[in-house]
Structure 1
Amino acid sequence: MHLQTESSQRLKWQFDERAPGKELFIDEVFGNYRQQARWLVADVERAAPVFVLGGARSDFTRLNPLLYRLQAAGIGSLTANLSGHSLASEPGAVSPSLATNLDEARRFHAHISSRCRTVIGHSLGAAIALKLAAQLPQLNSIVLICPAVYPDPAHQAPFGPAFTAAIRNPYGFLDCDSYAFLKRFQGRVLMVIGEYDGLNSQRFGKVPGTSVGSLWLAGAERYSPIPEEVTQALMQSVPAARLQCLFLTDCDHGIAAHLRSTPAIADQVANAVEAFILDDA
């Protein structure tokens, strides 16, 4: 593994913010393209580094409000840029899909696989994280942040119209083996969910088994792309003794932006994630 101290892609980052500690970069070659991951190194390590998968339209800086606090608390992280989601990941794979992203994630995770015991998945990245976790028997904890789940056939569909069509069917997200994986997973799961995400679609005049999308609610525009039934199915798949849930008031699907705009809430969420990880350290 060749570690670099600087990133040539820095001007393409969504958020160029100073890390509280050491940051290193890994370039990985995938045939005719490269992707990069950032390793936030803890000065005094209290737990093994976690592997992080960001959401759609995210690069590895989107979750800085959480990951920087974890780094300062002694928990490092490796987060990869994945094809099809950000300027920092271009040019990436031709016609990337969730399956492409999973392959990229698997390659990057291999750099810390001997030690890593926790995977964090954010939104679309949670769907990939669950697929990856099913291949990692050494894992003992999973953190799902406003998690999405997609039908298994959709993982092969290229992002764009084909992917949109593959995830459009009501209740289609139930056709996914990640629920069965969670039922047999022997570790612990922490779900972090915004109050206004995973809303009941029928309450707002939408088709059952679909998402509400954007709407004006409680004095603000809210974005709820996760169907209520996805959240329920995930919770029901994890035995109660191994499940923790953290609900954020006045927050929709945009948890990363919410943490960035409310530092006090970011502190609380980071403390909860830190405690969850250290319980298994």
Structure 2
Amino acid sequence: MHSLQTANEFTVPFESHKLYADTLPGSGRPHLFCIHGGGARSREVFADLRQILHGQGIGSTALDCIGHGQTGGVFAESSLHRRDQQSLSVIEHSGTRPTALIGISMGAYNAVRLSEILDVRMLILVVPGIYTPQAYKVPFGPEFSAIIRQPRSWLASDAWDILGRFKGRLLVIAGERDEVIPLEIPERILAAATQAQDRQLWVVPDAGHNGLLPLVLQNPEWLAAITAGLASSG
């Protein structure tokens, strides 16, 4: 794990697992909760962003979901639903209620669902995956893959209605050459958020599905916009 200066690391019991997480304290109320994607992802993906935000007085918390990072375990023993529950367990244990959520890929869907439960004021979705409710409680594995690989299964997602009720700031970040998430999905996310206070879609030129966040951080205007949005979420 990339070492974050002044991070408070902790573990949270979750069924037969021990979730690893950490909090970077902020100087005020704004606080970002980070949810990584699937595959080989872990909370490491947010390290640079979180360190920058910490320097601006904005706190953050992130976890390694089951099957990832320090938490480890078997990915197939988790699900979208259990990732939501893991996130809520870490938030409750941390004692800090987030004012904003960021989710990458699969984690973006978790962020959308949690945005309603936690009533956050900013939602940042990076290369966002969107899923049909049929897949929500199905353990990751062949059955889950079969459901989500049905052509355009995401059209039936409950995310659209949730986004339609979201009243905070929405930022969607997509890769121009994302081979996993077609641009139609980020565009539909933006269109669905009809009550959002503010909604933006950034398409990163020549970027694919992976390694997109570092490219965003290299753009001073984008980084300033993220920081300003998060600062106002408190």
Pairwise same-fold verdict (TM > 0.5): yes
Deviation at 1:52, TM superposition (A): 0.7
Deviation at 1:242, TM superposition (A): 2.2
**Distance of 2:154 and 2:182 partners within structure 1:** 9
Amino acid in structure 1 at the alignment position of 2:105:
S
Query: Larger deviation: 236-245 or 147-156?
Result: 236-245
Q: Does 1:96 align with 2:91?
A: no
Kept in 1: contact 2:172–2:186 (CA 8 A): no
**Distance of 1:63 and 1:98 partners within structure 2:** 20
TM-score by length of structure 2 reads: 0.89
Q: Which residue number corresponds to residue 236 of structure 1?
A: 191
**Distance of 2:95 and 2:105 partners within structure 1:** 22
Map 1:142-221 → 2, pairs under 5 A: 142-197=123-178
Deviation at 1:253, TM superposition (A): 1.3
**Distance of 1:94 and 1:231 partners within structure 2:** 27
Deviation at 1:94, TM superposition (A): 6.6
Q: Does 1:70 align with 2:53?
A: yes
SS in 1 for 2:229: helix
SS in 1 for 2:77: coil
**Distance of 2:114 and 2:35 partners within structure 1:** 10
In structure 2, the CA distance between the partners of 1:87 and 1:80, relative to structure 1 (3 Å rule), is closer
Which of 82, 92, 110 is the equivalent residue of 1:110? 92
Amino acid in structure 1 at the alignment position of 2:42:
D
**Distance of 1:81 and 1:169 partners within structure 2:** 28
Deviation at 1:160, TM superposition (A): 2.1
Deviation at 1:280, TM superposition (A): 2.9
Identity %: 25
Deviation at 1:87, TM superposition (A): 4.2
> 1:229-266 deviations in whole A, cap 9, x for unaligned?
32222111013752022222221211xx244478633x
> 1:97-134 deviations in whole A, cap 9, x for unaligned?
11111110111122456642111111110011111112
Q: Which has the larger radius of gyration?
A: 1
Amino acid in structure 2 at the alignment position of 1:264:
Q
**Distance of 2:83 and 2:189 partners within structure 1:** 21
Amino acid in structure 2 at the alignment position of 1:72:
G
TM-score by length of structure 1 reads: 0.75
Which of 23, 27, 43 is the equivalent residue of 2:11? 27
Deviation at 1:67, TM superposition (A): 1.7
Deviation at 1:151, TM superposition (A): 0.8
Deviation at 1:228, TM superposition (A): 3.2
In structure 2, the CA distance between the partners of 1:149 and 1:232, relative to structure 1 (3 Å rule), is same
SS in 2 for 1:126: helix
Amino acid in structure 1 at the alignment position of 2:35:
L
**Distance of 2:140 and 2:64 partners within structure 1:** 16
In structure 2, the CA distance between the partners of 1:141 and 1:87, relative to structure 1 (3 Å rule), is closer
The root-mean-square deviation of aligned C-alpha atoms, in Å, is 2.2
Q: Mind listing any 5+ residue stretches in structure 1 that lack a counterpart?
A: 1-12, 198-223
Amino acid in structure 2 at the alignment position of 1:38:
D
**Distance of 1:51 and 1:87 partners within structure 2:** 17
Which of 112, 123, 127 is the equivalent residue of 1:130? 112
In structure 2, the CA distance between the partners of 1:280 and 1:87, relative to structure 1 (3 Å rule), is closer
Q: Which residue number corresponds to residue 250 of structure 1?
A: 206
Kept in 2: contact 1:60–1:81 (CA 8 A): yes
